[in-house]
Structure 1
Amino acid sequence: MTDQLDGADRRTAVIEALDVLGAGPEERFDRITRMTHEAFGVPLTFLNLVHHDVVTTQSTFGWHQGTSVPASEQFCATTVLTPEPMVIPDTALDPRFAHTAAVAEHGIRFYAGAPLSTLDGTRVGTLCVMDAQPREFSAADVALLRDLARWAERELVHSIERARVQRVLTGLLPEPLVLPGGTVDGLVVPHERGGDLVDWRVASDGALHATVGSVAAAGRAAALLAASARAAVVARTDVAVDAAITGLEAQLTPDLSAAGAVGSLLHVRLDPTDGRVTWADAGHGLALLARADGSVTPIRSTDRPFGLQHTGHRRTTGSADLGHGDRVVLLTAGALALAGVADVDGFADVVAAHPDDLLGHLRGLLPADGAGRDLAVVQVGRT
Structure 2
Amino acid sequence: MDDRAGTDTDTDTAAADPGGAAAGSQDDGWHAVDGTAPLDAAERERLAAVEASALLGTPPEERFDRITRFARELFDVPMSYLNLVDDASLVVKSPQEPGEAAPRFPYGAAFCEYTVHGTGLFEVTDASLDPRFAESPAVTAFGVRSYAGVPLRADGGQAIGTLCILHPEPRRLTGEERGRLVDLGRWAEAEIRQGQGPASDVTVAVDPTVAGQRPALHHGDLTATALDRPHGAVSGDLHAWAEGGDVVTATLADVMGKGAAAGALAEALRRSLYEGPDGTDAPPATALATAARALGPQLAEAGSFVTLFHARVDTRSGDVEYVDAGHGLTLHLRASGTVERLSSHDLPLGLQDAAEGWTTGTLRLEPGDALVSVSDGVLDIYDSTLASLDRVVADLRAERDVEAFLDAFSVKVGVAQVDDDVTVLVVTRS
What TM-score, normalized to structure 1? 0.51
Amino acid at match of 1:295: T
Q: Identify the residue that residue 380 of structure 1 maps to in structure 2.
A: 427
Superposition map of 1:186-205 within 5 A? 186-192=226-232, 194-203=235-244, 205=245
Deviation string 1:140-164 (CA, Å, 9 cap, x unpaired) is xxxxxxxxxxxxxxxxxxxxxx99x
- The CA deviation at 1:180 is 1.2
Q: Identify the residue that residue 299 of structure 1 maps to in structure 2.
A: 342
Q: Secondary structure at the match of 1:247?
A: helix
Amino acid at match of 1:220: A
Q: Is the 8 A contact 2:326 2:347 kept in 1?
A: yes
Q: 1:189 to 1:219 in 2, by over 3 A?
A: closer
Distance 2:353 2:426 in 1: 31
Distance 1:284 1:373 in 2: 16
Deviation string 1:335-366 (CA, Å, 9 cap, x unpaired) is 11113x53333313431452334323322321
Q: Secondary structure at the match of 2:281?
A: coil
Q: 1:320 to 1:229 in 2, by over 3 A?
A: same
Deviation string 1:188-220 (CA, Å, 9 cap, x unpaired) is 0012264111101102x2211100101114763
Q: Identify the residue that residue 263 of structure 2 maps to in structure 1.
A: 223
Q: Is the 8 A contact 1:182 1:380 kept in 2?
A: yes
Distance 2:409 2:416 in 1: 15
Q: Identify the residue that residue 277 of structure 1 maps to in structure 2.
A: 320
What TM-score, normalized to structure 2? 0.46
Divergent runs of 4+, >6 A: none
Amino acid at match of 1:178: H
Structure 1 residue aligned with 2:367, among 304, 324, 330? 324
Q: Secondary structure at the match of 1:200?
A: strand
Q: Does 1:259 align with 2:302?
A: yes
Q: Is the 8 A contact 1:297 1:348 kept in 2?
A: no
Q: Is the 8 A contact 2:272 2:290 kept in 1?
A: no
Q: Identify the residue that residue 348 of structure 1 maps to in structure 2.
A: 390
Q: Does 1:337 align with 2:380?
A: yes
Q: Identify the residue that residue 244 of structure 1 maps to in structure 2.
A: 287
Superposition map of 1:17-28 within 5 A? none
Q: Is the 8 A contact 1:217 1:260 kept in 2?
A: no
Q: 1:258 to 1:318 in 2, by over 3 A?
A: same
User: More helix per residue: 1 or 2?
Assistant: 1
Distance 2:293 2:394 in 1: 37
Distance 1:309 1:262 in 2: 10
Amino acid at match of 2:412: L
Larger CA Rg, structure 1 vs 2: 1
RMSD: 2.9
Q: 1:320 to 1:306 in 2, by over 3 A?
A: same
Aligned length: 215
Distance 2:425 2:258 in 1: 26
Amino acid at match of 1:319: T
Identity of aligned residues (%): 32
- The CA deviation at 1:238 is 2.1
Distance 1:177 1:218 in 2: 27
Distance 1:382 1:297 in 2: 16
Structure 1 residue aligned with 2:252, among 205, 212, 225? 212
Distance 2:425 2:350 in 1: 24
Q: 1:369 to 1:257 in 2, by over 3 A?
A: same
Distance 2:224 2:352 in 1: 30
Q: Identify the residue that residue 50 of structure 2 maps to in structure 1.
A: none
Structure 1 residue aligned with 2:224, among 180, 184, 201? 184
Q: Is the 8 A contact 1:264 1:306 kept in 2?
A: yes
Q: 1:318 to 1:369 in 2, by over 3 A?
A: closer
